[in-house]
Amino acid sequence: MDIVKIFVPTTIAFIVGILITPLVSNFLYKNKMWKKKSVVVATDGGVASITQSLHNDEEKKTPRMGGIVIWASAIITIIIFWLGALIDGPVMSKLNFLSRNQTWLPIFTLIIGALVGLVDDYMSVTENYDQKAGGLSSKKRLLAVFLISLVGAWWFFFKLGKTDIIIPFVGVWDAGWLFIVFFVVVMLGTYSGGVIDGLDGLSGGVFGIIFSSYGLIALLQQQIDLAAFCFVLVGGLLAFLWFNIPPARFYMSETGTMALTITLVVVAFLTKQVLILPIIAFPLVISSASSIIQLLSKKYRNGKKVFLVAPLHHHFQAKGWPATKVVMRYWILGIICASLGIIISLIG
């Protein structure tokens, strides 16, 4: 029954995602929800000539906000099974995976992150486009993530009474009040990995692999509701990916990446396997790290760059790799790293 409880909602989420995509897509195209011009100013204030040539937003006219498909399909699926349980149907009650100790917090995080990201996306396509910020400024987005992380840390500490973290090959560490600090730092760091969105099929595939991995870990730990939630997100991601493979119908953008990155942190802490997050989510790590390295290098090495352009996936693209080659290799790397992370969680 546990497997059924996981894969029936996953399938429903995929079907819901496929069904709502035409509505979402038509709305985005009708209202021209795409960037009206390419980014020409880099994060450090310099000219982003390579980035501009790679993105070419004014020619592509590909809408943002595609992440709506992911979280909307997940939320609709959750509501379907929750309402079914309220009606007290014997089957739907057993399939309902909404629970206080496993899924309330990740669902809350998903919704809040999605809404903040949606505001950022909306601003970037409808108001006077800020070439550097692209909607909400980086400071405002980081502040939003910081506040969400404080709420999450408070819930873990005071509501769930969880302060322990599994250290692979060592044992369980009771972090005490340091848990709150650690939670905030991890969420801010993981959110920075959202820069992986940028090539057709890249972010959808990578996030699908990551959430599948944590869904499996949760299943093996008998956290069935959490496992179901993870795989429901995978169902939504697969529906998104169906329309995001080249040529992309739309981009995930901030409403998707913010929702997914911060929700991922909550899931990792709920499974107590947060220390293997950098392994399972290694594609996010290298994308974020490459941007940080590039920024620091240009600042402290008189404008010298380590990469042709950051994040790393755009560096390979600038070197002449076809976008599909970059994406496929990121997927392969993601599967290998996810497998390694799962193995460590089992034997560690």
pLDDT tier at 34, thresholds 50, 70, 90: confident
Q: Is the pTM of this model over 0.95?
A: no
pLDDT bucket at 132, cuts 50 / 70 / 90: very low
pLDDT in tens, 277-303: 999 999 999 999 999 999 999 888 888
Work out the pLDDT band at 329, boundaries 50, 70, 90: very high
pLDDT at 133 over 50: no
pLDDT, tens only, 77-117 = 999 999 888 887 777 788 899 998 999 999 999 999 999 99
Does residue 58 surpass a pLDDT of 80?
Answer: no
Taking residues 138-161, report their average pLDDT.
Answer: 94
Nearest to 103 by CA among 230, 236, 257: 230
Number of H helices, E strands in the chain: 15, 2
Q: What is the pLDDT of residues 214-230, one digit of tens each?
A: 999 999 999 999 999 99
Q: CA-CA distance, 290 to 310, in Å (whole number)?
A: 6
Mean pLDDT for all residues in the chain: 89
Side-chain half-sphere exposure of 211, counting CA atoms within 13 A = 30
Q: What is the 3-state secondary structure (H, E, C) of 170-200?
A: CEEEECCCHHHHHHHHHHHHHHHHHHHCCCC
Instruction: Collect all residues with Cβ–Cβ distance below 8 Å to 271 and sequence separation of at least 6.
Output: 214, 217, 218, 221, 223, 226, 345
- Mean per-residue pLDDT for 319-345? 95
pLDDT of residue 142: 94
**pLDDT more than 90, % of the chain:** 69
Which pair of structure tokens corresponds to residue 271?
Answer: 């499974």
pLDDT given at position 180 = 95
pLDDT the model gives residue 134: 60
Quick one: pLDDT band at residue 131, thresholds 50, 70, 90? very low
